[in-house]
């Protein structure tokens, strides 16, 4: 298959075979690499903490695509979104306007342009989770600057080590050390 002028649209690629993990970024189909064990464990732990702390109207899902526009349907590791008005059984992609938080766990295949894409789409909160060389987690917490649609580090806690404690989009605590301590 060759790339059409202007790139692919989601409606053109959503039913492609074989069914491999992929996302649509700037009209290009981007396959997603298999995650390492630490990545999935961290994603599961952060998801569990977010689910336990979430309040109405928020829901938490992992590996769910976000409809930014017809040529951009990225799939972050986790999203927190407002579920009101969505068809639970029929919604394939969460509209970007309903996303409150994007969490991405950095891996070698992570794309650098995604924070800018989510900021330009007015997603209010973005977390980047990284594993350092000492195999300790660091969570970079960003808030949206509505004036220029860019992210800036959270003022009182831009980087979390050992434990993530934040109030936005709702109060949550995550023991980061426990997520990689096996």
pLDDT digit string, tens, across residues 103-149: 999 875 555 558 999 999 999 999 999 988 888 999 999 999 999 99
Residue 3 domain flag: no
The predicted-structure confidence for 36-48, as pLDDT tens digits, reads as follows 888 999 999 999 9
What residues have CB less than 8 Å from 156, skipping those under 6 apart? none
99: left (phi over 0), alpha (psi -120 to 50) or beta: beta
Which CATH number fits the domain that encloses residue 126?
Answer: 3.90.1570.10
Of the pLDDT bands very low, low, confident and very high (cuts 50, 70, 90), residue 19 is: low
Parent domain of 155: 36-179
Interval 142-179: pLDDT, tens: 999 999 999 999 998 999 999 999 999 999 999 999 99
Q: Which stretch of DSSP H or E encloses residue 88?
A: none
The total domain count for the chain is: 1
Question: Looking at the domain assignment, is residue 114 inside a domain?
Answer: yes
Give the per-residue pLDDT at 77. 93
Q: How far apart are CA 67 and CA 32, in angstroms?
A: 17
Distance between CA atoms of residues 139 and 119, nearest Å: 18
Average pLDDT over residues 12-21: 68
């Amino acid at each position: 298959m060759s790339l059409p002028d202007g790139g692919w649209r989601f409606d053109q690629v959503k039913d492609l075979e074989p069914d491999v993990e992929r996302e649509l970024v700037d009209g290009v189909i981007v396959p997603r690499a298999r995650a390492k064990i630490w990545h999935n464990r961290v994603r599961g732990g952060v998801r569990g903490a977010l689910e336990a702390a979430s309040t109405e109207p928020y829901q938490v899902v992992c590996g769910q695509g976000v409809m930014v526009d017809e040529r951009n349907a990225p799939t972050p590791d986790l999203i927190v979104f407002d579920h009101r008005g969505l068809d639970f059984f029929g919604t394939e992609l969460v509209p970007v306007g309903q996303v409150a938080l994007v969490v991405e766990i950095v891996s070698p295949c992570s794309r650098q342009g995604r924070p800018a894409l989510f900021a330009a789409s007015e997603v209010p909160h973005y977390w980047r989770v990284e594993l350092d060389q000492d195999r300790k987690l660091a969570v970079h917490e960003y808030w949206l600057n509505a004036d220029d649609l860019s992210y800036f580090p959270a003022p009182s806690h831009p980087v979390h080590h050992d434990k993530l404690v934040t109030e936005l989009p709702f109060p949550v605590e995550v023991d980061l050390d426990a997520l990689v301590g096996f």
